[in-house]
Structure 1
Amino acid sequence: MTINHHISDALLMDYASGNLSEGWSLAVATHLALCPGCRRRLDAMEGAAGALFDKLIAREPVTGSDWEKMKARIACEPGAVTAVAEKPPVAAAPKPARSAGVIPEPLRSYLGGDVDTLKWRALGRGAYQIRIETGDPETQVRLLKIPAGRPVPEHTHEGRELTLVLSGSFRDGNDLFARGDLEEADGDLLHTPTATEDEDCICLAVTEAPLKFSSWIVRLIQPVLKI
C-alpha cells in the first residue's frame, strides 16, 4: 500500500499540540494507523517540540535557528508532505492497523466492528452512509460507501472537510485517492469526487458544516439525508 496524500502541516501541528476536536482527531488517528511515514513524522515533531520545551524550562534562549532545526526535523521523512493525529479522548498512542480487515483502530471501536458487521443507511443511487456518534459538537462524522464508477454530486463546503479512504479509491480532478489517502478540502474547492470503476469506495468523512451542493434537487433532499 502506497499512500500519496497526507495530513497538512498545519493540521499536524494542531494535532500534536492537542488542539483538534474529537471528529478531526478521529480522522487523523485513523490515517496514522495506516501510514508508517506519518507516524515517523509525528515522532519527529514531538521530539523536536520536546527539545524546545527543555530549552524553555532551562531558561535558555530559543533562537531562529532552533525553529529551523525543528522544521527540518519535522520534514525528515522523504516524500511526505504531511502527517497524522489522534483522537484526544481515545488514542493517546496510535498504533499500526491490523493486518486483517478494512477498518483500523481507533475507528473500528467507534463502529463496533469491521465493514462486514455494519448496518448501512441508503442515501440513494446506490450510496450508503453510517453516521458516527462522538462527543464533539463541532463536527459531523460519517462512513460513506460510494458505488464503483459513481460520483458524489458536485459540491463545495462551508468549512473544512477531511475524507480518508479505507477501501477502493476515488478520483478528484487529476488526483487519485486510494486506501490510506486523506483529502483536505474547504470552501475554495468545488469538486465532484468519483469512485473508480473497479470497486465501491468506502471513506471516513468529517465535516464542520453541511455540504453546499450545486444541484437544487440535492439541496432539496439534503435535510432528510443529513449531509
Structure 2
Amino acid sequence: MTSIRHHPSDELLLAHAGGWLPAGPALVTTVHVEQCTRCAARLALLQETAGQWLEDTPASALHPHALERVLAALDVCDEPEPPASLQGPPPLPAGMAWPRALAGLQITPWRWIGPGMRYSRVRLAGDDAFVFLLRLVAGKYLPRHVHTDREFTQVLCGSFHDGRAQFGAGDFDVADSTVHHLPVVQSGGECVCLTAVQGSLAFDGLYGRLLGRLAGLS
C-alpha cells in the first residue's frame, strides 16, 4: 500500500477507543486502523489509557432491574438476516484483500448509478448512518455536494481529489457541513471507498440531485 497521508484525529480515535462512535463511523474507522500501523498503535495506547481510567473510576451500582431489561430487549430483537458476501468487487492492488472488518457483514451486490459508477450498500443493525461502498473508474466524480452532518470515508484502492487534497489507498477523511466538495477519481484505475454518511448529502444541480436520489444519498 502507498504511504497513508490522512488519518483520523486523536479525538476521533479516542471516541472509537471508548466505544462512543455509532456503528457506521466505527466501521470506517476500524477499516482504517486495520490498514494503518500508525493509527493502530495510537488506538492501542488510547484503549490502554481508557481501560486504566475505568479501573480507577469508583464502581457504581446497577439499577436493580438492569439484567431483566437487557434480557427483555434481547428477546424482542429480530432474527438477523444471513450474512452476504461482497458481490463482484473490482480487483484491488497486488497483495491487498478486502478488509477483515467487512467479513460476515450483509453487503448488497454492486448497483449501477451511472456509466463507470457503482455502489453497494453495507447494512449494519441499529445504525442511522448510510454505509456503502462506492466504486468509480478514473475520471468519474461524485457531483459537488455539502453535508447536513458528517461523512466518514476510507479509501480502499485508487485515489481521488476533492479540491482540498488528494486521498489515496489507506487514507481517511471526515467531511462535515463546512465542506463543499467534488471528489474526482484520479488516473491509474478504479477507486473504491467505504463511506458512512450521517444525515444526508445536498447535491448541486439537477444531475447531482438525481444521482443522489438514485443512490439514496439525499
The TM-score by the shorter chain falls in which range?
Answer: 0.7 to 0.9
TM-score, normalised to structure 2, is 0.76
Shift of 1:220: 3.8
Deviations 1:103-156 (A, max 9, x none): 1111133267xxxxx831101131000011110331010000011122211001
Contact 1:170 1:177 in 2 (8 A): yes
- What letter corresponds to residue 184 of structure 2 in structure 1? T
User: Which of 101, 105, 113 matches 1:106?
Assistant: 101
Match of 1:188 among 159, 178, 192: 178
Pick aligned residue for 2:120 from 119, 126, 130: 130
User: Residues of 2 paired with 1:53 and 1:131: CA distance?
Assistant: 36
Q: 2:106 touches 2:124 (CA, 8 Å); kept in 1? A: no
Q: C-alpha distance in 2, partners of 1:37/1:195?
A: 26
**Contact 2:106-2:123 at 8 Å conserved across structures:** no
Structure 2 portions without partners, runs of 5+: 60-93
Q: Find the aligned partners of 1:140 and 1:3 in 2 and give their Cα distance.
A: 25
Equivalent in the alignment of 2:152: 162
Identical-residue share of aligned pairs (%): 33
Contact 1:21–1:136 at 8 Å: present in 2 too? no
Deviations 1:8-55 (A, max 9, x none): 222212111111121111111111110111110011112223344444
Find the counterpart in structure 2 of residue 42 from structure 1.
43
Aligned mates of 1:172, 1:108 — CA distance in 2: 29
Structure 1 unmatched ranges of 5 or more: 59-98, 113-117
Q: Specify the code of the residue in structure 1 equivalent to 2:180.
A: L
Partner of 1:212: 202
Tell me the amino acid that sits aligned with residue 105 of structure 1: R
CA distance 1:119–1:162, shift in 2 (3 Å): same
Contact 1:31 1:180 in 2 (8 A): yes
Aligned to 2:82: none
Q: Distance in 1 between matches of 2:195 and 2:202?
A: 15
| Counterpart among 104, 126, 129 of residue 139 in structure 1 | 129
Work out whether residues 102 and 167 of structure 1, in 8 Å CA contact, stay in contact via their aligned partners in 2.
no
SS of equivalent residue, structure 1 residue 143: strand
- How far 1:4 sits from its partner (Å)? 1.0
State the AA in 2 paired with 1:217.
Y
Taking structure 1 as the reference length, what is the TM-score of the superposition? 0.73
Kept in 2: contact 1:102–1:166 (CA 8 A): no
Total equivalences in the alignment: 182
Q: In 2 relative to 1, CA 198–221 (structure 1 residues): closer, same or farther, beyond 3 Å?
A: closer
Shift in Å, 1:200: 0.9
Give the aligned partner of residue 13 of structure 2: 12
Aligned counterparts, 1:1-80, within 5 A? 1=1, 2-57=3-58
- Judge conservation of contact 2:17–2:50 (CA < 8 Å) in 1: no
